């Protein structure tokens, strides 16, 4: 059985012993992950543990970006002077597969103040509308070094 299946079995067992809820499934998944990690053998050397760790780091990075963007928009709404400088920017893509492009577009769109509009027909450019653009190159660099790099690490 693969490590993912074992982890899901442990998470399901945890949820069945406590209460049927999504929160308990998530807690069971985390507990199961650490149980498998400390179990004897070479299990912790499998690629699964590396991927799950990357997934947690990506989720943490996304939550941080979400909080920063929300705070920025909240500040702009609550102050009398608007600081918005909206623009549509083309982001050259290093992601190639449909899943990678879709995930990048989704996380950009889920971040307040930005919206993925379109992908060029050659799939080399993602067009993004952002509310705060003082320098387009800074926005490109932030998306490429932030979301795109982490998506490539997670999915490749």
* 86 close to 128: Cβ distance less than 8 angstroms: no
**H-type helices in 39-85, by residue range?**
47-78
pLDDT value, residue 48: 82
pLDDT value, residue 105: 97
Using the structure block, give the residue that is written with the tokens 């597969």: 97
The model's pTM is 0.81
| Per-residue pLDDT in tens (0 to 9) along the chain, 156 residues | 588 888 899 999 999 999 889 899 999 999 998 888 888 765 556 788 888 889 989 999 999 999 999 999 999 999 999 889 999 999 999 999 999 999 999 999 999 999 999 999 999 999 999 999 999 999 999 999 999 999 999 988
CA separation for the pair 144, 87 (Å, rounded)? 17
| Dihedral sign for Cα atoms in the order 106, 108, 109, 111 | positive
pLDDT value, residue 38: 83
């Amino acid at each position: 059985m693969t490590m993912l299946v074992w982890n899901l079995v442990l998470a399901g067992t945890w949820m069945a012993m406590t209460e049927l809820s999504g929160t308990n499934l998530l807690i069971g998944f985390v507990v199961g992950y650490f149980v498998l990690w400390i179990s004897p053998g070479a299990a912790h050397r499998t690629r699964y543990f590396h991927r799950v760790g990357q997934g947690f780091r990506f989720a943490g990075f996304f939550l941080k970006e979400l909080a920063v963007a929300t705070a920025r928009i909240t500040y702009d709404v609550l102050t009398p002077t608007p600081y918005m400088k909206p623009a549509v920017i083309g982001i050259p893509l290093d992601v190639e597969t449909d899943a990678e492009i879709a995930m990048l577009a989704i996380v950009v769109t889920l971040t307040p103040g930005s919206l993925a509009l379109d992908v060029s027909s050659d799939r080399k450019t993602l067009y993004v509308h952002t509310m705060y653009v003082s320098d387009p190159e800074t926005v490109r660099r932030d998306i490429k070094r932030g979301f795109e790099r982490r998506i490539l690490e997670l999915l490749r």
